[in-house]
Structure 1
Amino acid sequence: MANGSLSQEFVDGQREKLEGLRAQLERIISGMQEDEQDRADQENDAQFDGGDMSQQMFTREMDATIGEQSEERLRDVKRALEKIDEGTYGICEDTGESIPEGRLKAIPEALRTVEAQEKLGR
């Protein structure tokens, strides 16, 4: 079930982009985990007033959101790389339709057509 509308050259280029993106996301996630540990260590060693605590809570919530988004995107990147290996890159996970090349250029880890992604988001 290979996507015959994508050239091997395009797919090879996408693999390079995805591998770079995977490395970048892994560094971000690792750095965030280290930052969280550093913050936890600092919180154990320090006294905070109400404003400091509010800032700490805000920072933790923002980091959690960014971390979740990074981990979700990393899962999609890894799946897209699997699909390249399987010969199904560019085929929607849900519908089996071809994902337009323009969408794949913009979002190399896209696993679904826009329509299928919108349905999933509802």
Structure 2
Amino acid sequence: MRTRKSTAAVPKARVEAGDLAVRPGEDPWTPEEVEEARGELEGEATRLRAEIAQAERALAGLMRDSGDGAGDDQADTGAKNITREHELALASAAHETLTQTEHALERLDAGAYGLCENCGQAIGKARMQAFPRATLCVECKQRQERRH
């Protein structure tokens, strides 16, 4: 049985900006652009963690306040259910976006940022700057959307 070594204590080597993928004709990533992307992703992760914590507190409050529903009419019960479902949907979306954001940071640290996870070609610097969590080039994303 193989065990995985924890990499938490191992400092991550920063990838050189010029080593990140770009499409033909695009200028290489500059250190400032890489740090801007990293800062945006880290800021988004911090914001999402706070949003998730808030949603979890709201859900805990809704669960605590719902009690057994004694004395509630159908409209009250329905409104509470809708509010609870809405909070769950918000928390779920925030969790998904946080997962994507953390994945983008891992790819940035590994030097794979800007490479399509499907075909391995460069996604494009402009696309990465517009949507820093992108994992597919435009062509692969379009193929994926046509299948669904």
TM-score by shorter chain over 0.5: yes
Q: 1:57 to 1:26 in 2, by over 3 A?
A: same
Q: Deviations over 1:66-92 (max 9, x none)?
A: 222111111110011011110111111
Q: Per the alignment, in what secondary structure is the counterpart of residue 15 of structure 1?
A: helix
Q: Per the alignment, in what secondary structure is the counterpart of residue 89 of structure 1?
A: coil
Larger Rg: 2
Query: RMSD of the alignment, in Å?
Result: 1.9
Q: 1:68 to 1:119 in 2, by over 3 A?
A: farther
Query: Among 50, 67, 72, which residue is 1:44 paired with?
Result: 67
Instruction: Tell me the number of residue pairs that the alignment of Structure 1 and Structure 2 aligns.
Output: 122
Structure 2 length-normalised TM: 0.73
Q: Per the alignment, in what secondary structure is the counterpart of residue 96 of structure 2?
A: helix
Structure 1 length-normalised TM: 0.87
Give the letter aligned to residue 104 of structure 2. A
Larger % of helix: which?
Answer: 1
Stretches of structure 1 lacking an aligned partner (at least 5 in a row): none
Is 1:90 matched up with 2:114? Answer: yes
Is 1:109 matched up with 2:133? Answer: yes
Greater relative contact order, per chain length (Cα 8 Å cut-off, separation 6+): 1
Answer with 21-30 or 111-120: which moved more.
111-120
Stretches of structure 2 lacking an aligned partner (at least 5 in a row): 1-18, 23-27
Is 1:3 matched up with 2:21? Answer: yes
Match of 2:14 in 1: none
Is 1:13 matched up with 2:36? Answer: yes
Q: Percent identity?
A: 27
In 2, Cα distance between equivalents of 1:15 and 1:118: 26
Aligned 8 A contact 2:128 2:134 in 1? yes
Q: Per the alignment, in what secondary structure is the counterpart of residue 20 of structure 1?
A: helix
